[in-house]
Amino acid sequence: MTHHRARKRFGQHFLHDRSIVERIVATLDPKAGERIIEIGPGQGALTRELLARVAHLDAVELDRDLVATLNTRFPPDRLTLHQADALKFDFCRLAEPGNKHRLVGNLPYNISTPLLFRVLDQHACIRDMLFMLQKEVVDRLSAAPGGKEYGRLSVMIQYRCAVEKLFDVPPGAFKPVPRVDSAVVRLTPHVAAPVSVNDPERFATVVRAAFASRRKTLRNNLTGLLPPEQMLSLGIDPIRRAETLTLAEFAALSNAAPTP
The burial class, CB within 10 Å (0-12 / 13-18 / 19+), for 255 is middle
Q: Euclidean distance between the first and final Cα of the chain, in Å?
A: 57
Phi, psi of 187 (to 5 degrees): -115, 125
pLDDT at 155 over 80: yes
What does the pLDDT read at residue 260?
66
Q: Please, where are the H alpha helices in the chain?
A: 18-28, 45-51, 64-73, 112-120, 135-142, 152-160, 200-210, 218-221, 228-233, 247-256
Confidence category of residue 1, pLDDT binned at 50, 70, 90: very low
Q: Which residues pair with 79 in a beta bridge?
A: 57
Q: Which residues neighbour 10 within 8 Å (Cβ) at sequence distance 6 or greater?
A: 62, 63, 108, 110
CA angle at 81 for the pair 83 and 42, rounded to the nearest 5°? 75
- Of residues 226, 67, 76, 258, the one with CA closest to residue 245: 226
CA angle at 225 for the pair 221 and 228, rounded to the nearest 5°? 70
- Of residues 121, 86, 96, the one with CA closest to residue 34: 96
The burial class, CB within 10 Å (0-12 / 13-18 / 19+), for 191 is exposed
How many distinct helices (H) and strands (E) make up the chain?
10, 9
Confidence category of residue 142, pLDDT binned at 50, 70, 90: very high
The residue type of 21 is V
Domain ranges for the chain, please list them. 8-189, 200-256
Q: Rounded to whole angstroms, how far apart are CA atoms 84 and 39?
A: 10
Beta-strand relationship, 182-189 and 174-175: unpaired
| CATH fold for the domain made of 8-189 | Rossmann fold (3.40.50)
Is the four-CA dihedral 25, 28, 33, 37 of positive or negative sign? negative
Please tell me whether residue 103 adopts helix, strand or coil conformation.
strand
Q: What is the pTM assigned to this prediction?
A: 0.91
Q: If you average pLDDT over residues 28-57, what whole number do you get?
A: 94
Interval 46-70: pLDDT, tens: 999 999 999 999 999 999 989 999 9
What does the pLDDT read at residue 110?
84
Interval 189-247: pLDDT, tens: 999 999 999 999 999 999 999 999 989 999 999 999 999 999 999 999 999 999 999 99
Specify the CATH architecture of the domain 200-256.
Orthogonal Bundle (1.10)
The burial class, CB within 10 Å (0-12 / 13-18 / 19+), for 178 is middle
Q: Decide: 53 and 30 in contact? Cβ < 8 Å.
A: yes
